[in-house]
Structure 1
Amino acid sequence: MGYFEGFLIPLRQHRLFGGKQVTTQYSGGRRAKKKGDMASDSQGDEKIPKPERLHGRHVLNRYEDGMEKCIGCELCAGVCPAKCIHVRGADNDPENPTSPGERFGWIYEINYLRCIHCDLCVEACPTEAITESKMFEFSFTSRQDAIYTKSELVVDDAGKAKRLPWEDWRDGEDDQTSGWMRATSPSGDATFEGEVGWSNELGYGLRAPEPKQAERDAHDPDRDNGDRPVKVVKR
């Protein structure tokens, strides 16, 4: 491919030339912060829609009664290939337990300078305590800010992720977590599609399962469902 042909690629993707415009006007939340409205998505501060299975910033969930799901088993830290998770468990107070089990996550830290968002921690967690939101816009000003502690990761009393000053949250970015990826089809068994495979969560109750494959295909405009003619190439 020559130099000029390479320059034509982004032009073909622009809407003016009949393509799909990929780049949007996004300031990283700066314009929204100046207006005092972090939910603003207009006038050059719009995020593109994100896939439902996107791996973003982690949250530590609670049950509907407010108890923490984390039991301090440290499996997430053991499976992490980037060694970015540090967990230490402690025994629950029988009179005032933090979690339903015998132990709870006393210390929980994630170093986002190391995290690769592989979601293996979500896969390993036996209680669905750790999941990932769709928010991935971080703007750290110090290394210490990049190390999230338990107080920053545990959801608030409404079940919502705590929104820190250096994060650019928008509406819907914590509506669905990556629980879908780990609980929809265990061991590749398609019979589990459309079935709830996880426990309730504070603020959300029992999340709805991911639609079955046929339903997803019917709503996917980029997938050939047999309605379009198929070109046959003769050899």
Structure 2
Amino acid sequence: MALITDILNNAAAVAKGMGVTIKEMLQPTVTENYPDAPAVLQERYRGVHVLQRDENGLEKCVGCFLCAAACPANCIYIEAAENTAEGRISGGERYASVYNIDYSRCIFCGYCVEACPTDAITHGHDFEIASYNTSTLVYRKEQLLTPLPANFKPLVVKEEASTGGH
């Protein structure tokens, strides 16, 4: 009796699997026309990184090295420098004077994005970075930094002249 039950259960499982297969065969085929048409990517796709700017046009990266420390592939290289009153690059005390990502080593895990306390580094949707020359896969800060909008006007802080009599 158990043998007949096992045979019927197995036959039902095969029939169910074949039903799914036949149903999928009758569905229309979805074909991407890339590179003739733009690729459609999911919102959560992890592409080439982007270094973000704040609303004043300053870089969000404060050179804290947390992204480099969190990277399991050790592909992020940062050198930090101090902001000065004459040359403010970021909103913090420091900024990343050098920010390199070696995409021949990057595994696009997203740990750097999660580790960043200022949300300075995010994943973009660019994916066309294949190269036969690995030296072109080292992206520098200038390549990663989001450009300023064309109509952007930087915030100007006017300092009032101090008068000696008050």
Matched, 1:24 2:35: no
What pairs up with 1:182-193 in 2 under 5 angstroms? Answer: none
What pairs up with 1:29-48 in 2 under 5 angstroms? Answer: 45-48=36-39
Question: Matches of 1:12 and 1:137 in 2, distance apart?
Answer: 35
Partner of residue 90, structure 1: 81
Report the CA distance shift for 1:95/1:139 in structure 2 as closer, same or farther (over 3 A). same
TM-score with structure 1 setting the length:
0.51
Question: Matches of 1:82 and 1:20 in 2, distance apart?
Answer: 41
Partner of residue 126, structure 2: 135
3-state DSSP class of the match of 2:99? Answer: strand
1:152 to 127, 143, 146: 143
Deviation per CA, 1:15-64: give whole Å up to 9, x if none.
xx53242442323xxxxxxxxxxxxxxxxx12442211111110101011
3-state DSSP class of the match of 1:155? Answer: coil
Matched, 1:62 2:53: yes
Report the Cα offset of residue 108 of structure 1: 0.3
Partner of residue 100, structure 2: 109
Question: Matches of 2:30 and 2:121 in 1, distance apart?
Answer: 32
- Structure 1 segments, 4+ long, off by >4 Å, are none
Structure 1: stretches of 5+ with no match in the other structure? 1-8, 28-44, 160-201, 203-235
Report the Cα offset of residue 135 of structure 1: 1.8
Q: Report which structure shows greater RCO (CA 8 Å, sep ≥6).
A: 2
Partner of residue 157, structure 2: none
Partner of residue 119, structure 1: 110
3-state DSSP class of the match of 1:78? Answer: helix
Q: Which has the higher strand share?
A: 2
Question: Matches of 2:30 and 2:120 in 1, distance apart?
Answer: 35
Structure 2: stretches of 5+ with no match in the other structure? 1-20, 153-166
Report the Cα offset of residue 142 of structure 1: 1.7
3-state DSSP class of the match of 2:68? Answer: helix
Question: Matches of 2:128 and 2:30 in 1, distance apart?
Answer: 18
Name the amino acid aligned to 1:25: N
Deviation per CA, 1:73-112: give whole Å up to 9, x if none.
1100000011111111111122221011110001100011
Partner of residue 80, structure 1: 71
3-state DSSP class of the match of 1:59? Answer: strand
Question: Matches of 1:120 and 1:19 in 2, distance apart?
Answer: 38
3-state DSSP class of the match of 2:122? Answer: strand
TM-score with structure 2 setting the length:
0.71
